[in-house]
Amino acid sequence: MCGIFGYIGKSEAVPFIVEGLKKLEYRGYDSAGVATYEHGRIFVSKCEGKIAELEELLTDKPIGGEMGIGHTRWATHGSPSDVNSHPHTSCDGKIALVHNGIIENYLELRRKLSEEGHKFKSTTDTEVIVHLVEKYYKGDLEKAMRQALQEVTGSYAIAAICEQEPGKIVCARKGSPLIVGLSDNEAFISSDIPAIIKYTSKVIYLEDEEVATIQRKKIQISTLDGKPVKRKPTLISWDPESAEKGGYAHFMLKEIHEQPGAIRKTIAHRVNVDSAKVHFDELNLEPKEIRHFNRIIFTACGTSWHAALVGEYLMERYAKIPVEVEYAAEFRYREPIVDDKTLLIAVSQSGETADTLGAVWEAKARGAKVISICNVVGSSLARESHGVIYTDAGPEIGVASTKAFTTQLAVIYLLTVLFGQVRKTLPQAKAIQMINNLMEIPDKMERVLAKEADVEKLSEKFYNSTNALYLGRGKGFPVALEGALKLKEVSYIHAEGYPAAEMKHGPIALIDKNMPVVVLAMHGRRYDKILGNIEEVKARGGIVIAIASEGDQMVKEKADEIIYIPASTEAVSPMLAVVPLQLFAYYIAVKRGCHVDQPRNLAKSVTVE
């Protein structure tokens, strides 16, 4: 949930670390800090607030050195404050350490260490680790780290430096990501790739329960119990520009605009348009297995869960296989009934969401086959799954997920076609037609994006609202959920997504003249019914904002506001319909003065339960 960045090289470390932390700020932004080594001493600078505040502090009181570690925090244990900020230091100040994750047995460890004389300064769980390392330190930081980590339970990505061992950063991970970037004369550590891609594309992913000692020109990895590990670096193909705002005011806006390109990239190498053949390189599913499954369970959190819900509608209709969609955190602790005829599909942008990973472990332990749909190559989820399909969305940095969602939809759609073909539930002519419909989406999306100014104007009318309802039917329902989630997370307006037919069973009581009701009213099998739901809202004085298919007059007559999107089949329509809702949420948030890319209390990747 926090971000870690480290540098060791021949230049001043602080500018690299601050720059790296800025890229990681989406992971947490309630406090930040840095520790460097220079002339035989460790220097620490840290404070509550965003990286900008740390930068000011570092300008007032600079700290130097050619190696260091930094941290941006999203508080779990201990409120955001100067003293709870990382790095934490040992009693003698000779070891500094940053941590991402949760130490579950920290209270017990803290009590023991206090009895042994260690003095705690903060109320964090992290501080126990640095005291444990201090306790075991006998001139070898890596060894002390290994001994300390034998005693902790929970999850961690850790980086530490020590006054007696200049030129070394010692790191470890379990359940939280950590990447080492290698360049000719320097090395980096980071919680994710966008923060280092500017400096190098050669990276090593640390695996769970590994410890690494990083020197300027050398990296040495071993397991927690001391067995050496050999790992070749991976070359990352992301373009460094993709981690920059590229002239847009916010990452969220940039990422909304990147969607047509991201979908093109995601589908291009996977389909043959003429034969409707779909191919996924790392799926690792034999046709006979696809026929063997009698059930699919999708699991995910947040926006990814909404994409999974579209998957339920698609898979059941075209591949004729029963589907359930589970919130990962509920699934994993429910003693789910799962066997080898169950396919679990985990959906996640980051591939590091703790609940989703937990659901995968649970399903695997119960004999299910697991595939993941994920945006980050080499992420924990990808590595834990039997097969993986990567969405080629490129780095998603805005905390509110946008292009990850639409590329997930594209992948789930293609997977449905594949399953329908293999299970012989999808006639070839229909499969060809479905592929053609998908191929049209990027161009149609561009046409939706061309209406940005209209959506911005619309947001002017509604940015002072305090509530909003989003209604949809069929595949419009997950889009309603997603539209509502986008609005609440970036603008802090209370919003509910609801199946339109369910409205009359309760939420209809909320409707009055101040209630904007966004209705997904595109052409499709439930079109007449949605018109009826619009009437119900209007009869109670609500304000209807409709998303409708181009040329539709019926909806226009009934709705107060209308945004047209190009006509499409229902199966692909979520990819188009969500775009105006993303823009609507974005512009409302901007007008309300909200911090769009870093909404309060949120973090991009939720690596704690």
Helices (H), 89-152: 106-115, 127-136, 141-151
Cα–Cα distance for residue pair 46/84, rounded to 1 Å: 9
Nearest-angstrom CA–CA distance, 22 and 72: 8
Is residue 304 part of the contact set for ligand F6R (CB under 6 A)?
A: yes
Choice from 171, 276, 301, 546 touching ligand F6R (CB under 6 A): 301
Shortest Cβ 179–ligand F6R spacing (Å): 16
Token pair belonging to 514: 């101040």
Comparing CB distances to ligand F6R, the nearer of 100 and 303 is 303
* Min dist. Cβ of residue 351 to ligand F6R (A): 7
- As measured in angstroms, the least distance from the Cβ of 578 to ligand F6R is 11
Closer residue to ligand F6R, CB minimum distance, 411 or 555: 411
Closest separation in Å from C-beta 469 to ligand F6R: 19
Beta strands 95-103 and 88-89 are: antiparallel
Q: For residues 548-607, which are near ligand F6R according to CB under 6 A?
A: 605-606
Decide: is 100 part of the binding site for ligand F6R (CB under 6 A): no
Q: Which stretch binds ligand F6R (CB under 6 A): 127-135, 155-163, 302-310, 431-439?
A: 302-310
Sign of the Cα torsion 498, 300, 281, 284 reads negative
CA-angle at 199, arms to 197 and 204, nearest 5°: 65
Q: Which is nearer to ligand F6R, 37 or 251 (CB)?
A: 251
CA distance readout (Å), 24 to 28, 181, 239: 8, 15, 17
Q: How far is the CB of 405 from ligand F6R (least distance, A)?
A: 8
Name the residue number minimizing CB distance to ligand F6R: 302
604 is catalytic: yes
Give the residue with the Cβ less far from ligand F6R, 302 or 566: 302
Alpha helices in 493-572 (DSSP H): 527-539, 554-558
- The Cα 416–Cα 290 span in angstroms is 11
- Alpha-carbon distance of 434 to 414, in angstroms, equals 9
- Sheet harboring 467-472: ordered strands across? 494-499, 467-472, 516-521, 543-549, 561-565
Q: How many CB atoms lie within 10 A of CB 292?
A: 13
The alpha carbon torsion through 48, 51, 53, 59 (nearest 10 deg) reads 130
The answer, yes or no, to whether the previous bond of 80 is cis (omega within 30 of 0) is no
In whole angstroms, how far apart are CA 242 and each of 246, 261, 375, 394?
A: 8, 12, 14, 7
Rank residues 400 and 458 by Cβ distance to ligand F6R and give the closer one: 400
The only residue of 36, 303, 573, 607 in contact with ligand F6R, by rule CB under 6 A? 303
Catalytic residue among 23, 46, 444, 604: 604
Taking the least distance from each CB to ligand F6R, the nearer of 89 and 607 is 607
Instruction: Kindly indicate which of the ranges 21-29, 166-174, 301-309, 319-327 contains the residues binding ligand F6R, using the contact rule CB under 6 A.
Output: 301-309
The rounded distance, in Å, linking the Cα atoms of 2 and 38 is 26
What CA–CA distance (Å, rounded) separates 570 from 411?
A: 16
Strand partners, 517: 469, 544
Q: Does 302 bind ligand F6R (CB under 6 A)?
A: yes
Using CA atoms, how far apart are residues 316 and 420, in angstroms rounded to an integer? 10
Q: Which of 2, 47, 162, 301 is catalytic?
A: 2
Name the residue nearer to ligand F6R (CB basis): 176 or 568.
Answer: 176
Region binding ligand F6R by CB under 6 A among candidate stretches 54-62, 251-259, 295-303, 529-537: 295-303
Query: Would you say 259 or 353 has its CB closer to ligand F6R?
Result: 353
Shortest Cβ 333–ligand F6R spacing (Å): 18
CB-based contact 518:555 (threshold 8 Å): no
Tell which one of 392, 489, 552, 597 touches ligand F6R (CB under 6 A): 489
Does 91 qualify as catalytic in the annotation? no
Q: What is the DSSP string of 244-266?
A: S-TT-SSHHHHHHHTHHHHHHHH
Nearer to ligand F6R, 33 or 599 (CB): 599
Find the shortest distance in angstroms from Cβ 304 to ligand F6R. Answer: 4
HSE-up (13 A, CA, CB side) for residue 586: 27
Minimum Å gap between C-beta 89 and ligand F6R is 32
What residues are paired with 172 via a beta bridge? 158, 211
Find the binding residues for ligand F6R in span 439-478 (CB under 6 A). none
- Write down the least CB distance from residue 47 to ligand F6R, Å: 27
Residue 451, number of CB atoms within 10 A of its CB: 17
Number of residues that bind ligand F6R (CB under 6 A): 15
Nearest approach in angstroms of CB 485 to ligand F6R is 6
Query: Binding to ligand F6R (CB under 6 A): which residues in 336-355?
Result: 348-350, 353
* Interface with ligand F6R in residues 118-177 (CB under 6 A): none
Distance CA 380, CA 352 (A): 6
259 vs 303 by CB, closer to ligand F6R: 303
The pattern of x and - marking residues 375 through 404 that bind ligand F6R according to CB under 6 A reads: -------------------------xx---
Q: Which residues are catalytic?
A: 2, 604
Which chain residues interact with ligand F6R by CB under 6 A? Answer: 301-304, 348-350, 353, 356, 400-401, 485, 489, 605-606
